[in-house]
Amino acid sequence: MTKVSFASHPFLLGFEQLDRLVERTAKTGADAYPPYNIEQTDQNAYRITLAVAGFSEDDLSITVEDSQLVIRGQQKDTGEGRVFLHRGIAARQFQRSFVLADGVDVTGARMENGLLHVDLTRQAPSSVVQKIEIRKSQ
């Protein structure tokens, strides 16, 4: 059986990389931890908000690797010597990845009330018209 993708359409020339990005995104884990929101804050601005209760700024790292925003969390406080009668606040490590389009940049991050806000902006695309000269055959 042959695998068919949207990039195999004859009108979509050069979109193989986009097809690979979609496939890579679909393969990312279905883990729902930590929960997150994505909102559009302006015409060319977005915010990703992750619920990271119990994590401090030092427990989190944010990197951009190959057009992929990667947010990792690992708590350094193990709670040794503490006896929990019920432990409902998750303390496990996590990694959450978001694929960024070309021209999308991370502009900042901040913690507020147990929420990590990561702000993104997209550069407005410029319209380019290119005239192609037709050479005469010899």
pLDDT digits (tens, 9 = 90+) for 40-63: 999 999 999 999 988 999 999 999
Position with higher pLDDT, 78 vs 128: 128
pTM score of the predicted model:
0.70
Q: How crowded is residue 109: how many other Cβ atoms within 10 Å of its Cβ? A: 16
Per-chain mean pLDDT for the chain: 83
**pLDDT tens string 2-12:** 566 656 666 66
Examine the pLDDT at 71 and tell me if it is beyond 90. Answer: yes
**pLDDT tens string 5-34:** 656 666 666 666 666 666 666 655 556 789
**pLDDT tens string 80-97:** 788 888 888 777 889 999
* 92-103 average pLDDT score: 89
Residues of the chain with CATH 2.60.40.790: 31-122
For the domain made up of 31-122, give the CATH fold.
Immunoglobulin-like (2.60.40)
Reading the block at residue 17, the tokens are 């990389």
Spatial distance between the Cα atoms of 52 and 56, rounded to a whole number of angstroms: 8
Examine the pLDDT at 35 and tell me if it is beyond 80. Answer: yes
3-state helix, strand, coil in the chain (%, to 5): 15, 35, 50
Question: What pLDDT does 110 receive?
Answer: 96
Question: What pLDDT does 69 receive?
Answer: 94
Spatial distance between the Cα atoms of 30 and 24, rounded to a whole number of angstroms: 13
Examine the pLDDT at 101 and tell me if it is beyond 90. Answer: no
Question: What pLDDT does 2 receive?
Answer: 56
